[in-house]
Amino acid sequence: MNTLAVSLKATAVNIRGRLEYPGDFAFEIIFGILWQSSTLAFAAVLITRFNGIGDFPASGVLLIVGMRLMAHGLFTMVYGNLSDALAELVEEGRVEGFFLRPLPVLTQILISRFNVNAFGDFTVGVVVCAFGVARVPIDWTPAKLLYLAAAILGGMYLEAAVQLPIAALMLRSPLAHGVGKWLDDIMATVGNYPLSILPMVLRVTFTFVLPVAFVAYFPVLVLLGQQPVTSIVAWSPLICYALYRLARLFWNWNLTRYTSIGG
């Protein structure tokens, strides 16, 4: 059985296990939705009160918010344990056992627990994105819908590319967990807005240092026709995946130097 099949089977077992307590399962999904209530409020105000932010149309902002939330929901489903569970696994010395099993250590960390609240994040993202798709002045073609899906997947990989180096540092110091949470908060805040409203220094920062712009803002510019499909910006989904592969190399390098908490 290959790694993907084992991962899917383990995830299905995890979900069935969580369903043993249906009340808790439902509460975690509702909590995920409530956690994004500020985003829903922002979207509602944007629709009813404003035509846009700066020179960016309201429908385009909705598309940015929806795509970022869907990407974040997918990240939490697949890679959420990097920021939610790894510190605990390291502190309890449970990572050592993962080296003895015939599966990649990263895969075992990712499937060790399923984050049910991710369904809430993803659901809110789907709703907001659907509003954005319905209202944005884009002539949707199969190619554009495929690009939209690729951009959402790219956003998931970009979040993983940001959190993987922090997770690699967490193997040596669980205190790095706080840095990961801080970066997550910044991405959740900045990622909902068009970068064009920010000062130049922040645009550069969120493009080349913490590249939030590649999650949704740049792809939406391409979909709106404000950037040509031949520009580097149009390659955002592939750039996100390339950054993820780079982060995997850093993770693998740190993994070979891992020392257990007991030495």
- Per-residue pLDDT tens for 12-67? 888 888 788 888 878 888 877 777 777 777 767 766 777 777 778 888 888 998 99
% of the chain exceeding 70 in pLDDT: 96
**What's the mean pLDDT in 77-87?**
86
**Tally of residues, the chain:** 263
- H-helix or E-strand spanning residue 73: helix 58-79
With contact defined as beta carbons under 8 Å apart, do 249 and 165 qualify? no
With contact defined as beta carbons under 8 Å apart, do 19 and 123 qualify? no
Phi, psi (rounded to 5 degrees) for 111: -100, 5
Q: What is the largest CA-CA distance in the chain?
A: 60
Confidence category of residue 217, pLDDT binned at 50, 70, 90: very high
Confidence category of residue 161, pLDDT binned at 50, 70, 90: very high
CA angle, 210 as apex, 254 and 173 as ends, to 5°? Answer: 30
**Per-residue pLDDT, 59:** 83
**Per-residue pLDDT, 262:** 60
pLDDT, the chain, mean: 86
**What's the mean pLDDT in 122-145?**
89
**What's the mean pLDDT in 74-96?**
85
**Per-residue pLDDT, 244:** 97
Where are the alpha helices (H) located in 191-259, listed in sequence order? 200-204, 217-223, 236-255
With contact defined as beta carbons under 8 Å apart, do 42 and 124 qualify? no
Closest Cα partner for 43 from 121, 148, 132, 126?
A: 132
The larger pLDDT score, comparing residue 145 to residue 48, is at 145
**What's the mean pLDDT in 142-163?**
96
The larger pLDDT score, comparing residue 93 to residue 159, is at 159
**Per-residue pLDDT, 46:** 67
Task: Tell me: pLDDT of 263 over 60.
Answer: no
Confidence category of residue 173, pLDDT binned at 50, 70, 90: confident
The larger pLDDT score, comparing residue 209 to residue 87, is at 209
The larger pLDDT score, comparing residue 205 to residue 197, is at 205
Q: Residue with structure tokens 């997550």? A: 184
Hey, CA dihedral for 124, 125, 128, 130, is it positive or negative? negative
**What's the mean pLDDT in 90-104?**
83
The larger pLDDT score, comparing residue 59 to residue 204, is at 204
**What's the mean pLDDT in 6-12?**
83
Instruction: Convert 103-131 into a string of H (helix), E (strand) and C (coil).
Output: CCHHHHHHCCCCCCCHHHHHHHHHHHHHH
